[in-house]
Amino acid sequence: MLIVQKFGGTSVGDLERIQNVANRVSKTVKEGHQVVVVVSAMSGETNKLVAYAEHFSQNPARNEVDMLLSSGERVTAALLSIALNEMGLPAVSMSGRRAGIVTDNIHTKARIESIDPTGMFDELNSGKVVVIAGFQGVDDNGNVTTLGRGGSDLSAVAIAGALEADLCEIYTDVSGIYTTDPRIEPKAKKLDRISYDEMLELASLGAKVLQNRSVELAKKLNVNLVTRTSFTDEEGTLITKEENIMEKPLVSGIALDKNQSRISLMGVKDRPGIASDIFNKLAENNVNIDMIIQTVGHDGMTNLDFTVPKNEVLDAKEVMDKFLEAHEIQDISYDDSICKVSIVGVGMKSHTGVAAKAFSTMAAENINILMISTSEIKVSMVISEKYAELAVRSLHSAYALDK
Amino acid sequence: MLIVQKFGGTSVGDLERIQNVANRVSKTVKEGHQVVVVVSAMSGETNKLVAYAEHFSQNPARNEVDMLLSSGERVTAALLSIALNEMGLPAVSMSGRRAGIVTDNIHTKARIESIDPTGMFDELNSGKVVVIAGFQGVDDNGNVTTLGRGGSDLSAVAIAGALEADLCEIYTDVSGIYTTDPRIEPKAKKLDRISYDEMLELASLGAKVLQNRSVELAKKLNVNLVTRTSFTDEEGTLITKEENIMEKPLVSGIALDKNQSRISLMGVKDRPGIASDIFNKLAENNVNIDMIIQTVGHDGMTNLDFTVPKNEVLDAKEVMDKFLEAHEIQDISYDDSICKVSIVGVGMKSHTGVAAKAFSTMAAENINILMISTSEIKVSMVISEKYAELAVRSLHSAYALDK
C-alpha cells in the first residue's frame, strides 16, 4: 500500500519523539508499504516564532509571517529524514515547494490549488521515504505561503489525494473518534469506522480531533482517513465514505458543545425582511449564528431565538442594540447558561423514531428542551447547561453506544 | 548609492539587536541610499540545529543538513523585514532561491555559480529594502544548498557583485582592520583603506576579520568591501583595489601566527624527486605546508625545513615516519615553540630596503630568525615563540605604524 502518515506538533515535540516517529515509519516500511510522511513544526516552535514577530509588530506583514513560520516544518522534516537515513532507510525531505504544492496567494491562510506529485513519485520509485514539511506551499509567483490552523492535516490529505494513496493516517495525541467525550462518559467506545458526514457533524459540534477543512477535503478527494495516536500501537478510527461502512449504526456518537449562548429577541417588528436584516448585520460583524427558532407572536410581532459562540455575544449585543434603538425590537435577553447536545448517525436517514427517542430520554430525566434543530444525520437540542453531562450519559445509554 | 549591508550572527543575536540593525538600515535609507541587507542566523541557532542533527547521526546526509541549517537565516530575514515594515520602511525578505543565487551541488560547502539579480532589482525599484537570507542558494535541480563557513559574507559579496553595488559593508563585532592585533600592541591603528592583496596576506597570516574566500571574490568582482562594527557608528576599513589607495604605505600591517610548528628533516637522500614525493604525500594526507627551506648538505644529502599548522603535526609525523623507515631520511625533529611574524604592504613593490629593516629590527632585539619567506608584498619570519609579542611591537614601531 501507499500510505501517507502525518505527525503533529506533540508527536514531534522533542528529539526523542522524532526518533519514535522514525521507528514507526520504519515499521510501516518493513511491513511492505511505501510511505510519505508529513510533519508539523516541533511543538512550541511556531508559537516562539509568532512571539518573535509580535515583538516587532502587532500586525506583521503576512508574507513575512509565512517566510518565518514555514521554517519550523522544514527543520522537523530534515531531522526526521536524517534519523531515517541513519536507521538504514533511504529518505529525503521536501519543502512544500519541492512537493509541488501550489496555493493561492492569501498569506497565512492560503488554500491549496494544485499538487504536482511528480517529484514525490520520483523519490518513492527510487525506494525512498519522502518526508514533507507540512502547513506550507508556494503561490504562482513562487512565494512561500502557509495554510493556517490545521494546515499540516490539510497538506497530508491533499498529498494523499494527489498520490492516490490507499490511506492517510493522522497521528495526534488522542487514539481516535469516540462515541462521546470519555471524560464525561467513561463507557464511551472508540469507533472503528465513521462516515465523512458524521465526522463533519461531530467536528462542528465540538469534537476537536480533526478540523472540518481536512475532513471536507478528504471527502472531496475520496481519501481514506485514519486518526490514531503516535504514542501507542492502538488502532485508530477510519473515516471513509458511507458505502465502506457495512453495518450502519443508528447513532454513531453524542456531541456536547458548551460554547454557545442563546439570544432571545422579543417583540420583533413583523415587517418583510426583518430577519434577513438582523442576520445579515450579524454576519457583517463576523458573528456566527448556529441554531435559529422563530415563533409567531401577537399584534404583528414575532419572537426570534438564536445561538452564537460565547465569545461573540458582545459583538452580537452591539448589533442588536441598534435594532433596539430603532424600535424594531421590543426586548432582548441573553442566556449564557445553556449547552447544545447532539446525536449524530447516518442510520437516521433510513430509520424513523431516532429523534423521538432523544426527546423521550430528555423527558425521562426531566430535562427541558429549549431549542431543537435537525439535519439528515443529526438531532441537536439546546438545554440548560447544568444538565449537560446527565444528558450526554442518558443519550449514550439510550442508544446503547456503550454496548 | 546602492549599498549591500551584511550582518553576522552576533549582530542579529537577539530581538533587540535585530531592532538595532533595523535602525541602522533605516538610517542608511534616510541618507538617500538603496539598501540590500544580507543576514546570518541568530547566533547560537545554527549550532543548536547542528546538535539536533548530530543527535540522530554522526554523519547526517549533507542535503538534509542544508535543508535544516538554511532555516536559520530565513527566520532572521523575515524578522528584520517585519521590523523594517513596522518602522514604515517597505521591505521584503528573500530566501537564497528568491534572490536568484544558484550554486553547484556540493552540499554544506557549495560554491556560487551565478546570481540572477532580476528579482532583487524589481523590489529595489519598487522602493523596497531587500532582506536576503545569507549562507544559502539552490543547485540546478532546485535543492537548497549552503555555502559553508563564512557563507553569509560570500553571499553579500556575490550579491554586491551581481547588483554592481557601490559598497558592500560587512558588519561584525570588530571595528575594522588594524595595523596589528591591538591586544599585543595597544598603539595599533585602524586602517582607513587596504588593498585586496594586503588583506589576503593578512587574513591568511591570522587576521580573523574576513575569510580569504570573501576577499578573493570581492577582488574578482571588483566589489568595494567595508568591514565595520554594528555596535557603534565608528567608520570601518575599506578593502579595495590598489589603484583606489592614493598614498601607498610601505607597510600596512604586522601579522602574527602562533599556530605553526616547524618540522626539520635532516640527511634527506639527494635523489631526483624526493622533495616532490614528500610534499605530495603530505598533501594527500591533507597536511597544509606553509614555509619551506632547503639547504645543501654534504655526502649527497640535503636538509629540509617546513612549517605546518600545529594540529596537523601528528598527521605529518605519520607520513614522515614512512620515509624514515625507508631510510630516505636520516633524522627528524619537531619544534612547537615557534611563531611566524609577517609584515605586509603594497609599498614594498616599489621600495627597496623594507625586508632589510625587518631583519635589522630583529637583530637589534637579539631575536634569531629561523626561516624567512618573501612575496611581492610580504616578508615572513619564523622566530622562537617567546619573542612573538616583542617582535610585533618592535616592527610596529620600526615602520612607524603607530604614527
pLDDT score at B51:
95
What is the number of alpha carbons within 13 Å of residue B70 lying toward its C-beta? Answer: 31
Q: pLDDT digits over A358-399, tens only?
A: 999 999 999 999 999 888 889 999 999 999 999 999 999 999
Q: What is the pLDDT of residues B236-259, one digit of tens each?
A: 999 999 888 877 778 999 999 999
Q: Is residue B167 within 8 Å of B226, Cβ to Cβ?
A: yes
Residues B335 and B264 sit within 8 Å (Cβ to Cβ): yes
Please indicate, yes or no, whether residues A153 and A257 belong to a single structural domain of this protein: no
Alpha helix ranges (H) inside B31-61? 45-56
Lowest-confidence region among A116-125, B156-165, B324-333: B324-333
d(CA B98, CA B78): 13
Residue B53 CA: distances (Å) to CA of A87, A145, A234, A378, B58:
14, 26, 30, 49, 8
Place of cell 538610517: B27
Condensed to tens digits (0 to 9), the pLDDT of residues A134-181 reads 999 999 999 999 998 889 999 999 999 999 999 999 998 888 999 998
The grid coordinates listed for B72 are 536559520
A143–B82 C-beta distance less than 8 A: no
Q: For B270, what's the count of Cα atoms within 13 Å in the CB-facing half-sphere?
A: 11
What average pLDDT does the structure give for chain A?
A: 92
Average pLDDT over residues B11-27: 96
Asked whether the beta carbons of A252 and A346 are under 8 A apart, the reply is yes
Same domain, residue pair B142 and B249? no
- The type of residue at B374 is T
Domain stop point among A148, A173, A198: A173
Cell 640535503, residue located: B302
pLDDT at B297 over 80: no
> Are A49 and A168 members of one domain?
yes
Which residue type, as a one-letter code, is found at position B394?
Answer: S
Q: What is the Cα–Cα distance from A111 to A214, expressed in whole angstroms?
A: 12
User: B167 and B250 share a domain?
Assistant: no
Nearest-5° angle of CA B179, CA B183, CA B187? 50
Which one-letter amino acid corresponds to residue A233?
D
Q: Check if the beta carbon of residue A184 is closer than 8 Å to that of residue A393.
A: yes
* CATH assignment of the domain containing B378: 3.30.2130.10
Per residue in B54-94, pLDDT tens?
999 999 999 999 999 999 999 999 999 999 999 999 999 99
Number of domains in chain A: 2
In a domain, A194, yes or no: no
B60 CB neighbours in chain A (<8 A) are 82, 85-86
Beta-strand pair A129-133/A91-94 = parallel
In Å, how far are B42, B106, B142 from B63, measured between CA atoms? 22, 9, 12
Q: Does A396 share its domain with A268?
A: yes
Q: How far apart are CA B168 and CA B309, in angstroms?
A: 32
Alpha helices in B205-336 (DSSP H): 212-221, 274-284, 313-325
Output the 3-class SS for B307-343.
EEEHHHHHHHHHHHHHHHHCCCEEEEEEECCEEEEEE
- A269 confidence band (pLDDT: 50, 70, 90): confident
The C-alpha cell that represents B33 in the structure block: 541610499
**Would residue B338 count as lying in a domain?**
yes
Residue whose entry in the numeric block shows the C-alpha cell 610601505: B250
Last residue of a domain, one of B173, B193, B217: B173
Decide if pLDDT at A107 tops 90.
Answer: yes
Which is nearest to B292 in space by CA: B306, B280, B302?
B306
Tell me if A233 is assigned to some domain: no
**What value does the mean pLDDT take over residues B142-164?**
94
B206: in domain: no
Q: How far is CA A52 from the centre of its chain?
A: 28
For the entire predicted model, the pTM comes to 0.84
Residue of A14, A37, A75, A128 to mutate, interface with B, max B Cβ within 10 Å: A75
Specify the CATH number for the domain of residue A93. Answer: 3.40.1160.10
Q: Is residue A235 part of a domain?
A: no
- Which residues of chain B make contact with A83, given a CB cutoff of 8 A? 56-57
Tell me what the mean pLDDT of segment B203-211 comes to: 71
Alpha carbon distance B250, A145 (integer Å): 57
Local confidence band at A52 (pLDDT 50, 70, 90 cut-offs): very high
Residue A90: closest C-alpha in chain B: B61
Reading the block at residue B85, the C-alpha cell is: 515594515
- Pairwise CA distance, residues A228 & A3, whole Å: 14
Nearest to A67 among B64, B72, B78 (CB): B78
pLDDT (0 to 100) of residue B23: 97
Please state which of the ranges A194-198, A306-310, B173-177 shows the lowest mean pLDDT: B173-177
User: CB–CB of B341/B391 below 8 Å?
Assistant: yes
As a whole number of angstroms, the distance between CA A86 and CA A84 comes to: 5
For residue A374, what are the domain limits? 243-403
Residue B225 has pLDDT above 70, yes or no: yes
Residue B52 has pLDDT above 80, yes or no: yes
Say what the pLDDT of residue B359 is. 93
In this prediction, residue B100 has a pLDDT band, given cuts at 50, 70 and 90, of: very high
Length of chain B as a residue count? 403
Between B97 and B374, the higher pLDDT residue: B97
- Considering the domain boundaries, does residue A223 fall inside one? no
For residues B99 and A209, the model is more confident at: B99
Residues B119 and B264 in one domain: no
Longest dimension (CA), chain B: 81
Q: Compute the nearest-CA separation of B129 from chain A (Å).
A: 13
Q: Are residues B139 and B45 in the same domain?
A: yes
pLDDT band at B207 (very low <50, low <70, confident <90, very high): low
pLDDT digit string (tens) for A3-50? Answer: 999 998 889 999 999 999 999 999 999 999 999 999 999 999 999 999
pLDDT at A347 over 90: no
Among residues A170, A169, A159, the alpha carbon closest in space to that of A132 is found at A159
- Residue A272: what pLDDT? 80
The answer on A260 and A378 residing in a single domain is yes
Query: Who has greater pLDDT, B304 or A298?
Result: B304
| pLDDT at site B237 | 94
Chain B hits for A85, CB-CB cut-off 8 Å, are: 57, 60-61, 64
- Which among B15, B75, B86 has the least Cβ separation from residue A68? B75
Residues A141 and A253 in one domain: no
Q: Which residue has the cell 430535562?
A: A367
Using the predicted structure, report yes or no on whether residue B348 has a pLDDT greater than 70.
yes
Q: Provide the pLDDT for residue A47.
A: 92
Would the pLDDT of A74 be above 90?
yes
What pLDDT was estimated at residue A206? 60
Minimum mean pLDDT range among A39-43, B149-153, B194-198, B298-302: B298-302
End-to-end alpha carbon distance in chain B = 33
Q: Pick from A93, A98, A143: which is nearest to B142 by CB?
A: A98
- Cβ-count burial A133-163 (b if 16+ within 10 Å, e if not): bbbbbbbeeebbbbbbebbbbbbbbbbbbbb
Beta bridge partners of B7: B39, B171
User: Which backbone phi and psi does A24 adopt, to 5 degrees?
Assistant: -65, -45
Cβ–Cβ gap B60/A85 under 8 Å:
yes
Q: What value of ipTM does the predicted structure carry?
A: 0.81
Asked whether residue B37 is assigned to any structural domain, the reply reads: yes
Do A283 and A167 fall into the same domain?
no
Query: Last residue of a domain, which of A130, A153, A173?
Result: A173
Confidence at residue B271, expressed as pLDDT on a 0 to 100 scale: 80
Q: Angle at Cα B235 formed by Cα B231 and Cα B238, nearest 5°?
A: 120
Q: What is the pLDDT of residue A98?
A: 95
Nearest-CA neighbor of B278 among B326, B235, B245? B326
CA distance A235 to A226: 9
Cell of B24: 541602522
Best of B49, B82, B107, B145 to disrupt the A interface by mutation (most A CBs within 10 Å)?
B82
- Reported as a single tens digit per residue, the pLDDT across A201-226 is 887 666 667 888 899 999 999 999 99
d(CA A63, CA B347): 52
Among the listed residues A226, A224, A236, A223, the one whose alpha carbon sits nearest the alpha carbon of residue A191: A236
- Examine the domain organization and report whether B31 and B139 are in the same domain: yes
Instruction: Decide if A132 is inside a domain.
Output: yes
Query: Do B162 and B250 fall into the same domain?
Result: no
pLDDT tens for each residue of B111-135 = 999 999 999 999 999 999 999 999 9
Chain A to chain B Cβ contacts (< 8 Å): 111
The bridge status of strand B112-115 relative to strand B34-39 is unpaired
Name the minimum distance, in Å, from the CA of B199 to any CA of chain A: 37
Sheet holding B112-115, edge to edge: B112-115, B101-103, B136-138, B144-146
Q: For chain A, what percent of residues have pLDDT higher than 90?
A: 75
- Band (B206; pLDDT cuts 50, 70, 90): low
